[in-house]
Amino acid sequence: MSEIKISINMLNTNEEIHEENKNLFDEEGIFVINLMSAPGSGKTTILEKLIPKLKQNLNMAVIEGDLYTTKDAERIEAKGVPVVQVNTAGSSYIEGSKVREASLNFDLREIDLIIIENVGSLVSPAEFEIGEDIKLCVLSVTEGNDKPLKYPLMFEKSTAIILNKIDLMQFTDFKEEEFYEDTKLLNDKAKIFQTSCTKNIGIDELSEWILEQVKRKISSHK
Amino acid sequence: MSEIKISINMLNTNEEIHEENKNLFDEEGIFVINLMSAPGSGKTTILEKLIPKLKQNLNMAVIEGDLYTTKDAERIEAKGVPVVQVNTAGSSYIEGSKVREASLNFDLREIDLIIIENVGSLVSPAEFEIGEDIKLCVLSVTEGNDKPLKYPLMFEKSTAIILNKIDLMQFTDFKEEEFYEDTKLLNDKAKIFQTSCTKNIGIDELSEWILEQVKRKISSHK
């Protein structure tokens, strides 16, 4: 019997840690976003653009996932919000236990929003819940419109999808209509934002939407 | 003791399958390339451009890795070379056993070159040898010049690195000099090609280099 118990516990570990994290964040009234994409889609740059807008209205913190470096965390720190770096030492997603550990570095009573920038991959990060309220995923137009059908899980599980680098669309063969058809097929509830960080397109809209989600949770918490 | 043996065998499985595949391909005088990159860096498009040039000079086949779809395999088949699709059902790399299985669909005595297009990821595909002679990796400039240091293993292990979509460099903040410095730091022997598939830049040079590698193996085999 004890062996079976151990086995069940091991199978449930990820899910259990997700629930524990979620309970902690719910108790503290913190909204948590799991931000995911392939490497180089622009997650960190989007965060750099969002932070100045978001922090005018709420207290936020960032957990930065990276295989080995602190490059992204340094960029976020420069924006003046608390940031904790999680190095996954080669693993292609952040584990829930690492999110828990990282979050204990923040003064959780003061925080309204934590954004977790996951490791750059269209596969593993979508497979594990780590305590988040919602998942956001980013696809840049230079990656091609075929990616939602090729890597469906991330698009299926995301509450919103950010189509980034739209200023470059004219130089690519990205088929916008197919992208919308495919994502609708996978996830007809997902909200889709179009952004360009170099041309400052769509950042206000995205920031306001995030603010609404956070406020909804905070108000239901009080 | 038998438990230890099982444990050792399990640890060696990937390596053993790599060796078995490598022996098979060596016996048949086939040069094998493991082509890797993040999703959307342009692996399939590079292949579409390379195949017409390569197949004038040798007999080639392609193994296409994808989580679920056959989209890329259909694009390669249209170029008139034998192709086998490997669906990894959610796994972010092709296993050596699947390469073996796929390769047995080809008439190996007639083949000089097999290119394996791995699943789009900068992490897992670099961790496993699957029977290849060399690894090639692709980075597109739109992904950013910070990727070699952030995902070092793939760049460390590649015999050549293809810097793709260089026609878009002027629209990005890609720092070319830093990219060359960082890759040199990780792997000072890697040959670096600059390519643009839309502007047909660098494809001839890349194709000629591949041809040289294949011919070297074929001539040493005879």
B63 to A25, A203, B5, B116: CA distances (angstroms): 45, 41, 33, 5
Report the chain B residue with the minimal C-alpha distance to residue A154: B90
pLDDT confidence band for B222 (50 / 70 / 90): low
Interface touch A165/B142, C-beta < 8 Å:
yes
Chain A contact for B175 (CB, 8 A cutoff)? no
Taking chain A (222 residues) in runs of 10, the rounded mean pLDDT of each run is 35 84 96 98 98 97 93 95 92 93 95 97 95 98 97 97 98 97 98 97 98 92 68
Beta strands in chain A (DSSP E): 31-37, 60-66, 83-87, 113-117, 134-140, 160-164, 191-194
Q: Which residues of A touch B40 (CB under 8 A)?
A: 38, 140, 142-144, 147
Between B38, B67, B171, which is nearest A40 by CB? B38
| pLDDT of the residue at B13 | 83
Give the gap in angstroms from C-alpha A111 to the nearest C-alpha of chain B: 29
Q: Which residues of A touch B41 (CB under 8 A)?
A: 143
Residue A201: partners with Cβ closer than 8 Å, 6 or more residues away:
A166, A167, A194, A195
Between A92, A142, A171, which is nearest B123 by CB? A92
Q: Model's pTM, two decimal places?
A: 0.90
The chain-wide mean pLDDT, for chain B, equals 92
- B192, B39 contact by CB (below 8 A): no
Chain B contact for A40 (CB, 8 A cutoff)? yes
Give the gap in angstroms from C-alpha B201 to the nearest C-alpha of chain A: 15
Q: Which residues of B touch A124 (CB under 8 A)?
A: 92, 123
| pLDDT of the residue at B1 | 26
ipTM for this model:
0.87
Averaged over B120-135, what is the pLDDT?
A: 96
- A197, A45 contact by CB (below 8 A): yes
| pLDDT of the residue at B10 | 45
| pLDDT of the residue at B46 | 98
Interface touch B120/A67, C-beta < 8 Å:
no
> Residue A9: which H helix or E strand, with range?
helix A2-27
* DSSP β-ladder status, A113-117 and A83-87: unpaired
Give the gap in angstroms from C-alpha A92 to the nearest C-alpha of chain B: 6
At B193, phi and psi to the nearest 5?
-110, 140
pLDDT at B11 over 60: no
> B2 or B11: whose pLDDT is higher?
B11
| pLDDT of the residue at B12 | 56
| pLDDT of the residue at A121 | 95
| pLDDT of the residue at B6 | 35
Between A69, A143, A171, which is nearest B171 by CB? A171
| pLDDT of the residue at B7 | 37
Averaged over B124-148, what is the pLDDT?
A: 97
Report the chain A residue with the minimal C-alpha distance to residue B173: A198
Interface touch B142/A153, C-beta < 8 Å:
no
| pLDDT of the residue at A127 | 95
- B176, B168 contact by CB (below 8 A): no
Interface touch A39/B92, C-beta < 8 Å:
no
At B142, phi and psi to the nearest 5?
-70, -15
> Residue A2: which H helix or E strand, with range?
helix A2-27
What secondary structure, in 3-state letters, does B60-78 show?
EEEEEEECCCCHHHHHHHC
**Alpha helices (H) along chain B:** 2-27, 43-54, 71-77, 96-103, 147-150, 152-157, 176-186, 203-221
